[in-house]
Amino acid sequence: MAEEVILLDCWCSMYGMRARIALAEKGVKYEYKEEDLNNKSPLLLEMNPIHKKVPVLIHNGKSICESLVIVQYIDEVWKGNGPLIPSDPYEKAQAWFWSDYMGNTVHEYAVKIWATKGEEQEQAVKDYLGGLKLIEGVLGDKPYFGGENFGFLDISLIGFYSWFLAYETFGKFSVEKECPKLILWVKRCLERDSVSKTLPDSEKVCEFAYEFGVE
Amino acid sequence: MAEEVILLDCWCSMYGMRARIALAEKGVKYEYKEEDLNNKSPLLLEMNPIHKKVPVLIHNGKSICESLVIVQYIDEVWKGNGPLIPSDPYEKAQAWFWSDYMGNTVHEYAVKIWATKGEEQEQAVKDYLGGLKLIEGVLGDKPYFGGENFGFLDISLIGFYSWFLAYETFGKFSVEKECPKLILWVKRCLERDSVSKTLPDSEKVCEFAYEFGVE
């Protein structure tokens, strides 16, 4: 049976990037459908009626929602190019934990950099950099988060890089200055086609962030 | 090597109950350490420095945090009594999705029932029951969420039952009246030792909720 794989996504969603990178790593052919988040498609509302959010993976008519769940699904359904998720239970637990930490806690600090000013923004910058430094500590001196190979936690984290410039511009700070090893890891990831072809231009994200800023 | 398994938990945490039920299902012997959430132990702060929350599973000195990640870890490390997590990628994705929905979205409605009054509380009751009805729809006519066998999604959801009486008392409604099939599923789960020995007395939870209410 011919497979039908569709991804409902938005170009600047770091959660969507997780799905796109995983699909690219596995060499899965799929139809990409860009969503206008101000005017969501009937297909998105049908396929993710609970949260109405991207990304949604539709595989032969069945929808899979929530970015980490999608990456897990992709890893299990398409076995090509080896597993993305660590097989060791403890490493797997760590990868889920830090993926969740970046996608929720640290992302909330980032949104505050975008949405606030003055002292509140200064605190958000401190919190955000604190979160990134913790994550940099998890990387340590390894080339990738899982060790020698690019995997689940790298996929979960790398999309957030495309918003660094926007946050840096809003909050007047430099991630590279504070977390140089993290930026070396970013550069290593960007050498992979799956990442470089997925991540949008940081300048474009920055323009988007200004346009849709909450000021 | 003798295994050391410790669970840092709080008796009325529905997230902690997920870990306790999974450990019971697998027949894992462990040391239970009750945490006073108003005066967290140095061990909790050391083992979950990021979120400082229960439950935390400590296995031979290594900590695993976040309840669903803990259940996954338990399922993978202790193979006895069969797997709790579905092996089918789509069923697994669904189980994660609904576990997350109950633990985050629906739980937030529940907290509002507890924390608000008047119209805001009425809306929270509607939202909460709407969430439970969606979950009841996922159950359908199956005995358990995964089908014939008690598994991951049952474990993720059943602990929330121990708070139903508290929310019902605050919000003046009956889950049984609105979601009769869900309550039949609860009764089925309570026939299992792993559940009946884990879930606290609903009256005791209700007293606790009144004592620590935000009024």
- Is residue B154 within a helix (H) or strand (E), and if so which, with residue range? helix B152-158
Predicted confidence band of residue A82 (pLDDT cuts 50, 70, 90): confident
**Are B93 and A100 an interchain contact pair (Cβ–Cβ within 8 Å)?**
no
| pLDDT at residue B36, rounded to an integer | 94
Q: Give the amino acid at A49.
A: P
pLDDT for the residue A214: 47
All residues at 6 or more sequence positions from B63 whose CB lies less than 8 Å from its CB, including other chains: B47, B48, B56, B57
Is the Cβ of A97 closer than 8 Å to some Cβ of chain B?
yes
Nearest to B35 by CA among B25, B48, B23: B48
Span A171-214, pLDDT tens digits? 999 999 999 999 999 999 999 999 999 999 999 999 999 887 64
- Residues A130-158, mean pLDDT to the nearest whole number: 97
The ipTM is 0.94
R_g of chain B, CA atoms, integer Å: 17
Query: To which residue do tokens 């009751």 refer?
Result: B125
Q: Which of A92, A112, A197 is nearest to A153 (CA)?
A: A92
**Chain A contact probe: residue of B57, B70, B94 with most A CBs at under 10 A:** B94
A12-29 burial by CB neighbour count: b if 16+ within 10 A, else e?
Answer: bbbbbbbbbbbbbbbebe
The CA-CA-CA angle for residues A76, A163, A47, to 5°, reads: 45
Question: In this structure, what token pair is assigned to residue B114?
Answer: 């507890």
Note whether B102 contacts A: Cβ–Cβ < 8 A. Answer: no
Domains assigned to chain B = 5-77 (3.40.30.10), 89-213 (1.20.1050.10)
Residue B210: the pLDDT is: 87
Q: Which of the four pLDDT bands, split at 50, 70 and 90, describes residue A1?
A: low
**Residue A2 confidence (pLDDT):** 75
Confidence at A215, pLDDT banded by 50, 70, 90: very low
pLDDT at site A87: 94
Which two three-digit tokens encode residue A139?
A: 């990387």
Tokens found for residue A59? 């595989």
Q: Write out the H or E segment, with its range, that includes residue B34.
A: strand B31-34
Structure-token pair, residue A154: 């790298």
Q: At residue A51, does pLDDT exceed 60?
A: yes
Q: Does position A160 have pLDDT exceeding 70, yes or no?
A: yes
Token pair 């029951």 is at which residue? Answer: B129
Instruction: Provide the residue type at A142 as one letter.
Output: K
Assess contact for B101 and B143: CB atoms under 8 A: no
Mean pLDDT to the nearest integer, A66-91 = 95
Model pLDDT, residue B212: 77
Which distant-in-sequence residues (6+ apart) come within 8 Å of B82 by Cβ?
B149
Tokens of B7: 């669970």
Cα→Cα distances B164→B30, B136, B189, Å = 28, 15, 15
Answer whether A208 touches B (CB < 8 Å): no
Q: Do A93 and B73 touch (CB under 8 A)?
A: yes
Task: Using the predicted structure, report yes or no on whether residue B22 has a pLDDT greater than 90.
Answer: yes
Angle, CA of A215, A52 and B176, to the nearest 5°: 120
Q: Which two tokens stand for residue B87?
A: 């092996």
Give the rounded percent of residues in chain B with a pLDDT score beyond 70: 98
Nearest CA to A136 out of A153, A122, A124 is that of A153
Residue (of A61, A158, A59, A147) closest to A103 by Cα position: A158
Indicate the pLDDT class of residue B213, thresholds 50, 70 and 90: low
Biggest distance spanned by C-alpha atoms of chain B: 58
Provide the token pair at A114: 């975008």
Query: Is A5 in the B-facing interface, judged by CB distances under 8 Å?
Result: no
C-alpha–C-alpha distance, residues A123 and A129, integer Å: 10
Q: Is B77 left (phi over 0), alpha (psi -120 to 50) or beta?
A: alpha
CA distance B77 to chain A (A): 7
What pLDDT is attached to residue B1?
Answer: 59
pLDDT band at B211 (very low <50, low <70, confident <90, very high): confident
Q: Are B31 and B85 in contact (CB under 8 A)?
A: no
Residue with tokens 């900590």: B63
Helix (H, G, I), strand (E, B) or coil at A10: coil
Q: Which two tokens stand for residue A42?
A: 């009937």
Query: Do B73 and A89 make contact, defined as CB atoms within 8 angstroms?
Result: yes
Backbone Cα Rg of chain A: 17
Residue with tokens 């000021």: A215
Residue type, B154: D
What angle is formed at CA A185 by the lines to CA A179 and CA A189, rounded to 5 degrees? 145
Nearest CB to B93; choose among A73, A89, A100: A73
Q: Is the pLDDT of residue B123 over 60?
A: yes
Helices then strands, counting H and E runs in chain B, come out as 12, 4
Least confident residue range of A62-66, A166-170, B48-52, B81-85: B81-85
**Mean pLDDT throughout B13-30?**
98
B137 touches chain A (CB under 8 A): no
